[in-house]
Amino acid sequence: MSTAKPKLNPRNFPRPPLCEKTARHLQVKWGNQVIADTKDAYWVLETYHPPTYYIPQTDLKVALLPSSHSSFCEWKGRATYYNLANTESPGEIVKNRIWSYGNPTQGFTPIKDYVCFYAGPWDCFVDGEKVIPQPGDFYGGWMTSDIEREAVKGGPGTYGW
């Protein structure tokens, strides 16, 4: 009997994206420090993207530093960003690798004030599996072994998908 998880094909994810609760266990660790740990997250599934995971700020184990950076998503609205100081390396601050939507558009109100992490420089885990970042540095999807990689945009030559 096989226990392999079925593959998720981002080519078949919806457009506009779907925002829904996920039962997956998410962790973000930086060295020996746990930054976030939750089973109370949302994932956003968008065509040609691996899931982006939104974690409630109540499940963060660190304080985030506000950033002046922002961006705009055609689906979710205006994102604000955060910086994070590395407690294991005094003086090291990672800028603009965490974001949230304080006033998301209709359909994404469940993720209001939840935070999303790029998969790096810290380590991110889904159900204990260490993720790799979505190709490129523009998108924040988390790649796990159950994602069909050939159906993910972000790498060279995938802009026009």
CATH number at residue 93: 2.170.150.40
- Looking at the domain assignment, is residue 9 inside a domain? no
Q: Looking at residue 3, what is its pLDDT?
A: 64
Q: Looking at residue 91, what is its pLDDT?
A: 86
Q: Where are the alpha helices (DSSP H) in 31-155?
A: none
- Total count of domains within the chain: 1
Cα separation of 95 and 159, whole Å? 25
Average pLDDT on 45-52 reads: 95
- Looking at the domain assignment, is residue 6 inside a domain? no
Given a cut of 70, whether residue 161 has pLDDT beyond it is: no
- Looking at the domain assignment, is residue 159 inside a domain? no
Q: Looking at residue 86, what is its pLDDT?
A: 85
Domain range spanning residue 119? 16-151
- Looking at the domain assignment, is residue 157 inside a domain? no
Average pLDDT on 52-56 reads: 98
Average pLDDT on 95-109 reads: 97
- Give residue 132's pLDDT band: very low, low, confident or very high (50, 70, 90): very high
Average pLDDT on 62-78 reads: 96
Q: What is the mean pLDDT of the chain?
A: 93
Given a cut of 60, whether residue 1 has pLDDT beyond it is: no
Q: Looking at residue 20, what is its pLDDT?
A: 97
Cα separation of 115 and 55, whole Å? 5
Average pLDDT on 16-45 reads: 96
Amino acid sitting at position 143: M
Phi-psi region of 91 (alpha: psi -120 to 50; beta: other; left: phi over 0): left
The CA-based diameter of the chain, rounded to the nearest angstrom, is: 52
Q: What percent of the chain has pLDDT over 90?
A: 80
* Coil vs helix vs strand at 103: coil
Average pLDDT on 82-100 reads: 92
